[in-house]
């Protein structure tokens, strides 16, 4: 089977046909789904979805773009829920930094503070991290190492192909591979894929975003993890069965899912 380790089922683009989306995925061999916590405003919705479907799980966390909601988020309300499997997605994202140099520096400082806080929460509650990194590899790696995140490990969601981050495989971190791998301009990720230990590979969609070829421009769905698995099989020159079994075993191990 396949585990979609990062799918925003709480996004309103799934509101009208969530049952159909999940059933199509199940028929295609996708048997587990993890909703990352990104925006505190939709977290209750994620919990309700996880409670409704036995094969759906969720994480509690705050995305860098939604960090204003961090202070008001009661982690303990969610982290002890039986379907909560991780902290995140949290991390650093410098892609949209705007303003003066001073304003950009302040934004980075705030992002780091909230990322560190979530690392500490993950250690406190013994939950793995779902880590979001964009244009911030060096700072992200530095914080993960400095704050001993290897205690609980996690996944580098939507791995950005930065070879500097590969050493985190030795720090109990996994690498989430999604639809980007199928893009024509994904040469860097294609080239670096073989350097990721197979016991650290995970599959994800990041749906409704980053829809793989040949469906680009449409809403991403968990069924499309099958396209990612196919592409990994081709690049690594291993059987599709091995890709599915290995990544599934990795996901179940990291997130303690039966």
Q: Structure pTM?
A: 0.97
Residue 258's pLDDT is 81
The one-character DSSP state at 61 is: -
Complete edge-to-edge strand list for the sheet that includes strand 56-60: 2-4, 30-35, 56-60, 84-93, 129-134, 154-157, 173-177, 201-203
Strands 173-177 and 201-203: parallel
CA distance 29 to 91: 30
CA distance 30 to 156: 21
Element holding 107 (H helix, E strand): helix 101-125
Q: Which CATH architecture has domain 2-255?
A: Alpha-Beta Barrel (3.20)
Name the E strands within the chain. 2-4, 30-35, 56-60, 84-93, 129-134, 154-157, 173-177, 201-203
Q: How many CB atoms lie within 10 A of CB 158?
A: 24
Residue 73's pLDDT is 95
The domains of the chain are located at 2-255
CA distance 99 to 105: 10
Residue-level pLDDT, tens digit, the chain, 258 residues: 999 999 999 999 999 999 999 999 999 999 999 999 999 999 999 999 999 999 999 999 999 999 999 999 999 999 999 999 999 999 999 998 999 999 999 999 999 999 999 999 999 999 999 999 999 999 999 999 999 999 999 999 999 999 999 999 999 999 999 999 999 999 999 999 999 999 999 999 999 999 999 999 999 999 999 999 999 999 999 999 999 999 999 999 999 998
CA distance 109 to 115: 10
Instruction: Supply φ then ψ for residue 153, to 5 degrees.
Output: 65, -165
């Amino acid at each position: 089977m396949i585990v979609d380790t990062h799918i925003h089922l709480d996004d309103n683009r799934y509101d009208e046909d969530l049952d159909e989306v999940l059933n199509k995925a199940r028929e295609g061999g996708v048997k587990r789904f993890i909703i990352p916590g990104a925006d505190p405003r939709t977290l209750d919705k994620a919990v309700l979805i996880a409670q409704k479907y036995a094969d759906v799980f969720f994480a509690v966390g705050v995305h860098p773009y939604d960090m204003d909601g961090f202070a008001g988020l009661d982690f303990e309300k969610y982290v002890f829920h039986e379907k909560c499997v991780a902290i995140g997605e949290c991390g650093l994202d410098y892609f949209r930094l705007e303003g003066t140099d001073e304003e950009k520096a302040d934004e980075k400082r705030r992002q780091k503070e909230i990322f560190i806080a979530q690392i500490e929460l993950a250690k406190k509650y013994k939950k793995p991290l779902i880590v979001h990194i964009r244009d911030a590899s060096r700072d992200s790696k530095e914080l993960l190492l400095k704050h001993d995140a290897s205690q609980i490990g996690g996944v580098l969601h939507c791995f950005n192909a930065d070879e500097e981050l590969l050493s985190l495989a030795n720090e109990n971190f996994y690498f989430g591979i999604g639809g980007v791998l199928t893009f024509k301009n994904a040469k860097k990720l294609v080239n670096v894929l073989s350097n990721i230990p197979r016991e650290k590979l995970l599959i994800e969609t990041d749906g409704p975003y980053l829809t793989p070829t040949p469906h680009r421009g449409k809403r991403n769905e968990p069924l499309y993890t099958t396209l990612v698995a196919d592409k990994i099989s081709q690049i690594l020159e291993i059987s599709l069965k091995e890709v599915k079994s290995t990544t599934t075993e990795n996901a179940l191990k990291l997130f303690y899912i039966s």
